Chain A
Amino acid sequence: MDRQDQKQQYFNDYNNRTHVIGRIVSAVTLVLLVGAPFVIGTYLGAMPDMHAVLKGFLAVGIVWTVSSVVEFLVYTPMLGAGGGYLAFITGNLINMKIPCAMNAREIAGTRAGTPENEIISTLSIATSSLVTIVVLALGVLLLVPLQPVLQSPALQPAFENVVPALFGAMAYMYYRKNLKLALAPLLLMSALFILVPSLISSTSMMIIPSGALTIVLAYLIWKKRGTILDPPGTDLSGAEDKEDTEGTAK
């Protein structure tokens, strides 16, 4: 067995164990989270009203169930095995985990479907989860002194714009090498939201048609050229501000 085979064998074993561990801890977390309201109920001396739970589930739960299925189908290939289990346990996918993993893999320069990518993605999601747990624990511990600062009116605009700040930076990172590909979904989605502003509140669902369109376009470009990266010299690497002029011009 040469070194490459050994590496593959080791990684396959690692991956299989990841699935075993991932399934077990997901199941345990599920039991803990669904069990907690009953434990708390016992402590408070009142059990959940199952009739209201059922009614509530039909009212608000169905939408989230559909969006959970979509999230699973879209994000699992991006996250890989280890990252996938962990991200669905720890949550906050769209506003943190997905961009975080994409950023890490950009920095590490790994490609989808490779063992290296699986490792980087898991490292990224695990680190991100731990940071959130620590920040929240510290925040709760220091809630009394922190609350007036964090809730001060002067800082509100900053915290209301965490997501635009995140996607602005990520947009530059990805648009600069794939400007031709990015233009179509950007223009189309802007036009759609301008014409049907009521869709803005369901942007998290609109990423599906936008992503599907971009994948189709990417396939056409990839079939022709073997890569979706813009040809050297025509990308944004030398002209930094182009993305924002696009952003503000429309």
Chain B
Amino acid sequence: MISILDSPAMYLICGLIILFVAIVSAVFLIRAYRAGKAIGMDSDVLKRAITSSATFSILPSVGILLGVIALSGSLGTPWPWLRLSVIGALHYETQVAQGAAEQVGMTALSAAQMTPTAFATIALLMSICIMWGMILSIFFNKMYLGRMGGRQSRKQESPETAEKKTAEKTGARQGFGDAAMIAMFIGLVSAYIGSYIGGFVSGNGRFAFKGSLVPIIVAAVSAAVMALFTWLAEKKHMVWLESFSIAGSMLIGMLAAIFFG
């Protein structure tokens, strides 16, 4: 069964869909770059956004590749390759694939128990469970963003606009939309850092302090390296470093995991 799931025909079906998404991404990239130039953005800034995003994405992508390898044992390589290249999320795919396997009567997600019907069913379930983000985008993205934008522009039309605008330009005052987004992200990061602390203190029994310390060490090392990079970029004027600082910090943080793990 696994040899059929790894057959050239499977690679072709999955590869074509991935190719389609790659073309879509390239089109968005080129359109945004051209529009950025057209509205007068500095091409250096645009290029730095691209470089930093590229270096940023390499390590998480290798992590995702490990997800493909993990699932390839039971589902063959092409299908997990498609799932994780397009739409999928690392934590999602394994969980849904396992849940789906149970529904078709398998005791575990394994190649030995896989049948054509089981595979087709698992594959469909993996596609269906995560499609809502796309559906919501199709119907509501424009309205949702329009509404938020509308609220912002109404605010700007208020009498204090001129004064507020100058203040915004000097950096003394920021719009609340911007502040809210940063706050949301700080909340997100804090939840994750908090979960590492909680995991260490109570992960193996409440207040037992026997959970894993590794995620905290990794986050701390990564933060310290990031601090060093930021200092070099700002105080030593090595601005080019900014594009690589997150990737570099992550790499050294992950190396710390090998030593402490």
Contacts and interface: CB of A to CB of B under 8 A. Distances in A.
B187 A46 contact: no
B238 interface: no
B13 A36 contact: yes
Nearest to A163: B192
Contact of A157 (B53, B179, B251, B257): B257
B62 A90 contact: no
B29 to A, nearest CB: 4
B228 A150 contact: no
Nearest to B86: A90
Contacts, number: 609
Contacts of A128: 53-54, 56-57
A120 B183 contact: no
Contacts of A174: 182, 185-186, 189
Contacts of B32: 82, 119, 122-123, 126
21 contacts: A29-B86, A33-B17, A37-B121, A44-B119, A49-B120, A56-B103, A88-B136, A96-B64, A108-B49, A123-B29, A125-B53, A136-B65, A137-B85, A154-B258, A158-B258, A159-B254, A168-B193, A185-B187, A194-B197, A240-B230, A247-B196
A139 to B, nearest CB: 4
Contacts of B17: 29, 32-33, 36
B10 interface: yes
Contact of A30 (B77, B129, B135): B135
Interface residues of B, number: 163
Contacts of A107: 48-49, 52, 242-243
B228 to A, nearest CB: 7
Contact of A92 (B53, B54, B64, B129): B64
Tell which of A14, A113, A151, A229 has the most Cβ of chain B within 10 Å: A113
A45 B96 CA distance: 23
Nearest to B144: A76
A201 to B, nearest CB: 9
B69 interface: yes
Contact of B69 (A36, A43, A143): A143
B29 A207 contact: no
Nearest to A64: B129
Nearest to A248: B220
B194 A189 contact: yes
A175 B177 CA distance: 18
Given A93-B89, A129-B25, A219-B179, 17 more contacts: A46-B120, A77-B144, A85-B28, A86-B28, A119-B36, A123-B49, A126-B32, A140-B81, A164-B222, A165-B250, A165-B253, A168-B221, A169-B222, A174-B185, A175-B186, A186-B190, A248-B217
A147 B90 CA distance: 18
A243 interface: yes
B183 A7 contact: no
Nearest to B97: A60
